[in-house]
């Protein structure tokens, strides 16, 4: 993935269960964290977005993310970054992961180590 500073990128992320079907997000919190190095504290992340969905499918918190078409049972989330956010990013390469926490306390990371490249914007 590539972000150009000052742009407003968004990504559609599809999650699947162990049988290959859509991952139900009912009662889950999904968090995406992007860092220069995995060893950095979350407070030093380039960005961290999350979405929390209760057991009824109602979004209770969603900084930086929304449910995709089909709602909580579709396994689709859309992550967005504002122009103001991306304008603050330093040029370079980052890694990100996606963590899912269930109401039962189970945690799994279906996406990890995905590369994010931040490019300079030529237009000022």
Q: In terms of pTM, does the model score above 0.85?
A: yes
Closest to 36 (Cα-Cα) out of 76, 89, 87 = 89
Helix (H/G/I), strand (E/B), else coil: 121: coil
Q: Are 51 and 67 in contact (CB under 8 A)?
A: yes
Q: What is the pLDDT of residue 55?
A: 96
Q: Are 96 and 33 in contact (CB under 8 A)?
A: yes
Mean local confidence (pLDDT), 84-89: 86
Looking at the domain covering 2-119, what would its CATH class be? mainly beta
Q: Confidence band (pLDDT; 50, 70, 90) for 123?
A: low
pLDDT in tens, 36-75: 888 899 999 888 999 999 999 999 999 899 999 999 999 9
Domain positions in the chain: 2-119
Mean local confidence (pLDDT), 16-38: 93
> Roughly how many angstroms between the first and final C-alpha of the chain, as a whole number?
22
Lowest mean pLDDT among 4-8, 100-104, 117-121: 117-121
**What CA–CA distances, in Å, run from 1 to 107, 113, 122?**
25, 12, 19
Q: Which 3-state string (H, E, C) describes 4-56?
A: ECCCCCEEEEECECCCCCECCCCCCEEEEEEECCCCCCHHHCCEEEEEEECCC
Q: What is the pLDDT of residue 124?
A: 58
């Amino acid at each position: 993935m590539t972000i150009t500073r000052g742009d407003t990128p968004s990504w559609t992320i599809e999650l699947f269960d162990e049988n290959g079907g859509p991952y139900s997000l009912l009662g889950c919190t999904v968090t995406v964290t992007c860092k220069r190095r995995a060893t950095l504290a979350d407070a030093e992340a380039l960005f961290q977005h999350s979405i929390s969905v209760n057991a009824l499918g109602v979004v209770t918190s969603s900084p930086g993310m929304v449910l995709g078409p089909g709602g909580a049972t579709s396994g689709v989330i859309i992550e967005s970054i504002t122009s103001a956010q991306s304008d603050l990013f330093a040029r370079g390469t980052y890694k990100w992961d996606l963590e899912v926490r269930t109401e039962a306390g189970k945690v799994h990371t279906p996406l990890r180590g995905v590369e994010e490249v931040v490019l300079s914007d030529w237009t000022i």
